[in-house]
């Protein structure tokens, strides 16, 4: 609350009370109406029985833990290894995609912040942004075509003799991981860029003059400054990857199932909004707990990410 008051004072001091009030109302509307209230409603749903419409609000409409216990035990009382395994696999995949994005975006962000200038810098930014004018679903289908059995990747691989018959990149989840990595690349590049841009180039030159190798310069000088940006980008990429639905539906193999697809099935195919809400709450809690644990391990605070 104190931070919000400081922001309000800063905006009102620079742009007037009207602009500050508009920003405050917009932020409160966003947080309360578009984030908090839907989450509270979903949380309430998750503790309810799936009843016919005529019985909602009646004596049978009481709170229960059945929807959560089903995730852990199922209907037969045994451990629900299928759903738990799907959640675990989704988290591992989200971590993998996040790591790939960090490895790809860190050098891009560094070059953009400290090497590219003028036309080259503008062309790099345009090259990063323009492809995202295309709808996410269309990009997913483009990746499916690209990695398909008759797609460009298989065509080039077979024409140069790397393999004799088409490789099933869809079943191997190569297309899925590639599509997810590409889908959120901007959310990793620009937080790292904003952090690295603040680094004084003289520090890099001084380290180089003292004989430090490039990897040591980045490890001891650049990475400590870039860590908040990496943490911010990694948080967004991880949460969005774990909660992705369109890309797993389009690019996932026949045996691959994302946890969000389970949630979708409960909501839409089974018409069981209560159990779908419980699964959604479980995913949210697990993802937030995982992110908070990693922030503690890497010693990154919320304040550093906010900067």
**Mean pLDDT, the chain cut into blocks of 10 residues (307 residues total):** 60 69 84 91 93 85 92 84 94 95 93 80 85 88 91 91 89 91 93 88 84 86 90 93 93 85 92 94 94 84 69
What DSSP state is assigned to residue 257? -
- pLDDT value, residue 217: 86
> What is the C-alpha separation between 218 and 216, in angstroms, rounded?
5
Residues 131 and 243 in one domain: yes
Question: Token digits for 21?
Answer: 């009030």
- pLDDT value, residue 71: 93
Residues 177 and 31 in one domain: no
Residues 9 and 108 in one domain: no
Which residues are within 8 A (CB) of 22 and not within 5 positions of it... i.e. 6 or more apart?
Answer: none
Residue 51 located in a structural domain: no
User: Are residues 191 and 233 in contact, defined by beta-carbon separation less than 8 angstroms?
Assistant: yes
Query: 3-class DSSP state for residue 23?
Result: helix
Residues 24 and 144 in one domain: no
- pLDDT value, residue 119: 80
Backbone torsions φ then ψ of 48, nearest 5 degrees: -115, 160
Residue 110 located in a structural domain: yes
Question: Which range marks the domain in which residue 117 is found?
Answer: 81-306
User: Are residues 173 and 256 in contact, defined by beta-carbon separation less than 8 angstroms?
Assistant: yes
Residues 1 and 144 in one domain: no
User: Are residues 283 and 87 in contact, defined by beta-carbon separation less than 8 angstroms?
Assistant: yes
Residues 9 and 157 in one domain: no
Residues 173 and 297 in one domain: yes
**pTM for the whole structure:** 0.88
Residues 102 and 246 in one domain: yes
Residue 156 located in a structural domain: yes
Instruction: For residue 207, give the CATH number of its domain.
Output: 1.10.3720.10
Query: 3-class DSSP state for residue 48?
Result: strand
- pLDDT value, residue 6: 62
> What is the C-alpha separation between 27 and 21, in angstroms, rounded?
10
Residues 17 and 151 in one domain: no
Residues 156 and 209 in one domain: yes
> What is the C-alpha separation between 163 and 56, in angstroms, rounded?
60
Residue 135 located in a structural domain: yes
Residues 19 and 94 in one domain: no
Task: Single out the residue of 100, 90, 103 nearest to residue 259, CA to CA.
Answer: 90
- pLDDT value, residue 5: 61
Q: Which residues pair with 63 in a beta bridge?
A: 48
Q: Which residue has the tokens 């912040």?
A: 113
Residue 74 located in a structural domain: no
Residues 40 and 85 in one domain: no
Residue 60 located in a structural domain: no
What DSSP state is assigned to residue 63? B
- pLDDT value, residue 283: 96
Question: Token digits for 85?
Answer: 């395994």
Residue 266 located in a structural domain: yes
Query: 3-class DSSP state for residue 180?
Result: helix
H helices present in 115-199, as ranges = 118-129, 136-146, 152-159, 174-183, 186-197
Domain count, the chain: 2
Residue 119 located in a structural domain: yes
């Amino acid at each position: 609350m104190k931070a919000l008051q400081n922001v309000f004072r800063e905006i009102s001091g620079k742009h007037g009370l009207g602009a500050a009030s508009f920003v405050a109302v917009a932020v409160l509307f966003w947080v309360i109406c578009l984030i908090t209230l839907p989450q509270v409603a979903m949380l309430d749903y998750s503790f309810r029985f799936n009843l016919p419409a005529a019985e909602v609000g009646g004596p049978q409409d009481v709170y229960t833990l059945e929807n959560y216990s089903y995730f852990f035990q199922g209907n037969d009382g045994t451990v629900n290894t299928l759903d738990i395994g799907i959640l675990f696999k989704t988290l591992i995949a989200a971590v993998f995609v996040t790591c790939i994005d960090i490895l790809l975006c860190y050098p891009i962000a560094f070059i953009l912040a400290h090497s590219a200038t003028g036309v080259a810098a503008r062309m790099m930014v345009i090259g990063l942004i323009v492809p995202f004018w295309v709808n996410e679903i269309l990009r997913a289908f483009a990746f499916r075509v690209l990695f398909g059995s008759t797609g460009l990747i298989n065509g080039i691989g077979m024409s140069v003799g790397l393999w004799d018959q088409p490789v099933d990149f869809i079943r191997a989840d190569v297309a899925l991981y590639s599509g997810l990595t590409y889908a959120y690349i901007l959310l990793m590049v620009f937080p790292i860029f904003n952090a690295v841009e603040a680094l004084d180039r003289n520090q890099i030159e001084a380290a180089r003059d003292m004989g430090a190798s490039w990897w040591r310069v980045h490890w001891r000088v650049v990475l400590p400054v870039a860590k908040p940006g990496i943490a911010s980008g990694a948080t967004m990429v991880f949460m969005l990857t774990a909660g992705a639905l369109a890309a797993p539906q389009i690019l996932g193999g026949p045996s691959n199932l994302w946890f969000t697809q389970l949630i979708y099935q409960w909501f839409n195919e089974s018409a069981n909004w209560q159990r779908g809400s419980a699964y959604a709450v479980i995913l949210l809690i697990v993802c937030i707990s995982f992110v908070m644990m990693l922030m503690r391990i890497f010693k990154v605070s919320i304040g550093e990410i906010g900067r």
